Structure 1
Amino acid sequence: MAQAQVTPTRMELTRLKKKLGTAVRGHKLLKDKRDELMRQFLDLIKENMELRLKVEEGIKAANTNFVVAKATMSEETMHTALMAPKQEVTLIADQKNVMSVEIPSFEYRTRTADANDIYSYGFAYTSSDLDGAVKSLADVFPDMLKLAEIEKSCQLMAAEIEKTRRRVNALEHVVIPETRESIKYITMKLDEAERSTQIRLMKVKDMMLEEEHHYSEREGGFPVEIETAN
């Protein structure tokens, strides 16, 4: 793969080494981010389970009181008692950043601070069970809001964890190994080219020395005279 896609040049080798350094640092940062997201995610899951049980108990108590109140009151009386609510709630939705994840943050404000304003009816013609039902819903409302916030946060963090996990795996199993393989391939090719160049230079040097030696023999040699006997 490296041989088909990489040009074995020193410039490409320098570029790949920089890419490898960036990939290794990015891999470490993403692993740290994934681990921290997992830690916070598990904390939220634990809080979510505890809060859900509490909310379910509160809703169950409210439903039980409503059933008893409906059995002891006429339907018209109950509708009249709950027709015009006295208290008013304003929801304030915001966001907070947790490890680059924008999770929701919910707050609420009531129109008045009086706790008795949750009852929109008089107590003379209504059942105490209806009071208990309304009080149970008022008590469980903050927990319901917190539960919605936590469950949405869990969904967003789970999606970010999966995205980060895919990036970590891509760097760890694809980008970094391929880059190292390409660096190894280019280094091997450059070493081969350097050895070939050295061999050629040595051969050229030997040829030049040999030619110089033959030239010196031709220039400095003396003819040999042979005498014959008469």
Structure 2
Amino acid sequence: MSGKDKINIFPSRGAQTLMKARLAGAVKGHSLLKKKAEALQMRFRQILAKIVETKTLMGDVMKDAAFSLAEAKFASGGDFNQGVIQNVTKARIKLRSRMDNVAGTTLPVFESMEDGVDTYELTGLSRGGQQMAKLKINYKRAIELLIELASLQASFVTLDNVVKITNRRVNAIEHVIIPRYERTLQYILSELDELEREEFYRLKKIQEKKKQARDKNEKAKAALKEAGILAEAEARNMITDSHDEDLLF
């Protein structure tokens, strides 16, 4: 197992507990990021479908607006651009922006709002008033669709970047971080098992050495007893030994 496959850490019980906590955190983080990625992808698909629908509708609305402009010019008997330009002093339809939160991601949302009244409502009153009213309605609808399409495309671009980043993080945790933690934990467990086996072998060898020493002493005592030396030496030690052990009452 190379250094890239695991984290360089000293194998111990504390390191084992630490790696278990890291692995549990990585698994939980992967689960949360996976749910976030799924929520973002679902919203991404909804926005994509809405963009396709809005663009299709936008073509029809712009076509109707262009025909309405041609009809209004034909009915009014000429160009009325100068009259509209002179009467318009400020924008009637304004743009308002807000932020929408989707799984912790803020998306820009644009909305249209009306401010004021129609300052050129008398335009076309002499001729082509009906076509002029139809023209206003069609172009107002076209502007609202343009604002909606701009909002959808801005959210689409933002979501596209966030989905890519989230998917990279999910893949990194799933295929790099979690396997590395698992291999590190496996390495720590194998090293701890090896240390336990070495400790067991060491204790076994110590017990074997002690047993050999006891057997050797027993054999030596038995040989001295057979020679009659040990009994005489023990009796002499009992008489001459002036050190008495402490007695506990």
TM range (shorter): 0.7 to 0.9
Which position in structure 1 is the counterpart of 2:107? 103
- Alignment pair present for 1:47 and 2:25: no
Following superposition, the deviation at residue 143 of structure 1 comes to 2.6
Following superposition, the deviation at residue 133 of structure 1 comes to 2.6
Name the SS for the 2:100 alignment partner: strand
Following superposition, the deviation at residue 139 of structure 1 comes to 2.4
Distance 2:44 2:154 in 1: 11
Distance 1:37 1:209 in 2: 71
Contact persistence 1:41–1:157 (CA under 8 A): yes
Question: Over residues 156-175 of structure 1, what are the superposed CA-to-partner deviations in whole Å (9 max), with x where a residue is unaligned?
Answer: 11111111100000001100
Normalising by structure 1, we get a TM-score of 0.85
Distance 2:221 2:152 in 1: 99
Following superposition, the deviation at residue 122 of structure 1 comes to 4.0
Contact persistence 2:65–2:142 (CA under 8 A): no
Name the SS for the 2:147 alignment partner: helix
The residue type paired with residue 32 of structure 1 is K
1:24 to 21, 24, 27: 27
Question: Over residues 43-92 of structure 1, what are the superposed CA-to-partner deviations in whole Å (9 max), with x where a residue is unaligned?
Answer: 121122112211221112112332444466434x3322343227723322
Contact persistence 1:82–1:120 (CA under 8 A): no
Of residues 130-139 and 161-170 in structure 1, the stretch that sits farther from structure 2 once superposed is 130-139
- Alignment pair present for 1:91 and 2:95: yes
Of residues 4-13 and 25-34 in structure 1, the stretch that sits farther from structure 2 once superposed is 4-13
Following superposition, the deviation at residue 144 of structure 1 comes to 2.4
- Alignment pair present for 1:187 and 2:195: no
The residue type paired with residue 204 of structure 1 is I
Q: 1:217 to 1:118 in 2, by over 3 A?
A: farther
Distance 2:207 2:122 in 1: 108
Unpaired segments of 5 or more residues in structure 2? 229-249
Distance 1:146 1:118 in 2: 25
Identity of aligned residues (%): 23
Q: 1:104 to 1:63 in 2, by over 3 A?
A: same
Unpaired segments of 5 or more residues in structure 1? 226-230
Question: Over residues 161-211 of structure 1, what are the superposed CA-to-partner deviations in whole Å (9 max), with x where a residue is unaligned?
Answer: 111100000001100011101111111111111101110110011001110
Which position in structure 2 is the counterpart of 1:201? 203
Following superposition, the deviation at residue 8 of structure 1 comes to 1.8
Which position in structure 1 is the counterpart of 2:153? 151
Distance 1:43 1:106 in 2: 17
Which has the greater radius of gyration?
A: 2
Following superposition, the deviation at residue 130 of structure 1 comes to 4.2
> Within 5 Å, which residues of 2 pair with 1:21-170?
21-70=24-73, 73-75=77-79, 77-85=80-88, 88-112=92-116, 119=121, 121-126=123-128, 128-170=130-172
* RMSD after superposition: 2.5
Q: 1:189 to 1:6 in 2, by over 3 A?
A: same
Which position in structure 1 is the counterpart of 2:237? none
